């Protein structure tokens, strides 16, 4: 599966591991969760109201279209949260 985002710069950062819905993936230290996910996928969530997948929109914490969760049940904005080593993400709801 190819992702939505493409790296153009800052590719020398250390690699870190995380999981998304149980699948093992890698990101670079300093990636937001949104970057980490959209490097691999084209969406981060589905609209609650049945109109399809969403992949965030504003990247600045305004549109609230990038909510994602982790295995502990926490929920956060993917664009405003840095991915950390070992993070276990789950798409919502």
Partner 1 sequence: MTPDIVIVGGGLVGCSAALHLARAGRRPLLLEVGRIGAAASGVNFGGVRVQGRALFELPLALRSRAIWDNLVDIVGTDCEYRRSGHLRLAKTPADLDAVAAYAEKVRPAGLDLEVIDGAEIRRRHPAFNATLAGATWSAGDGQANPRLAGPAFARAARAAGAEIRDNAKVVAIEPVAAGFAVATADGQRVTVPQVINSAGAWAPDLAASLGDAAPGRAIYPNMVVTEPLPPLISCSLGTYGNGVYLRQVERGNVVFGMGRGRLAAPDRAVPSAETSLAAMAEAAWLLPRLAHAHVIRTWTGIEGELADGQPVIGPSPRHQGLFHAFGLSGHGFQLAPAIGAVLAELATAGSSPTPLDGFSITRFTAG
Partner 2 sequence: MTAVIIVGAGPAGMAAALTLVEAGLRPIVVDEAQRAGGQIFRRPPPGFTRPPAALYGADAAAATRLHLAFDALGDRIDYRPQTLVWAVEPDAVHLQGPQGRVRLDRGPLLLATGATDRLLPVDGWTKPGVFSLGGSQVALKAQGVAIGRRVAFCGTGPLLYLVAYQYAKAGAEVAAVLDTSAFGDGIRALPLLAADPAKLARGIYYLGWLRAHGVPVHHGVRPLTVHGESVTGLTWRDAGRRLNETRCDALALGFGLRSETQLADLAGVPFRFDPIRRQYLPDIDQDGRAPAGAVYLAGDGAAVRGAAAAETAGRLAALALAADLGRPVDTAARDALRGRMARFERFARGLDAAFPFPVDLLDTATDDTLLCRCEAVTVGTMRHAVGELGAEDVNRAKAFVRPGMGRCQGRMCGLATSELHARLRGLPPDQAGRLRGQAPVKPVPLA
Specify which residues 19 forms β-bridges with: 24, 88
7 counts as binding partner 1 under rule CB under 8 A = no
Our CB check for partner 1 shows the closer of 7 and 74 to be 74
**Residue from the set 5, 28, 40, 65 that interacts with ligand FES by CB under 6 A:** 65
| DSSP code for 76 | E
Q: How many whole angstroms separate alpha carbon 18 and alpha carbon 37?
A: 10
Residue with tokens 């949260």: 81
Q: Which does 31 bind (CB under 5 to 8 A by kind): partner 1, ligand FES, partner 2, none?
A: partner 2
69 counts as binding partner 1 under rule CB under 8 A = yes
Neighbour tally for 12: CB within 10 Å? 6
Site residues (vs ligand FES, CB under 6 A): 56-59, 61-66, 77, 79
């Amino acid at each position: 599966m190819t992702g939505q985002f493409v790296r153009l710069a800052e590719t020398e950062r250390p690699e870190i591991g995380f999981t998304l819905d149980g699948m093992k993936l890698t990101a670079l230290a300093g990636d937001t969760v949104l970057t980490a996910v959209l490097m691999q996928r084209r969406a981060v969530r589905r609209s609650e109201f049945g109109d399809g997948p969403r992949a965030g929109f504003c990247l600045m914490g305004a549109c609230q279209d990038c909510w994602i969760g982790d295995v502990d049940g926490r929920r956060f904005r993917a664009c405003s949260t840095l991915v950390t080593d070992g993070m276990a993400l789950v798409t919502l709801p």
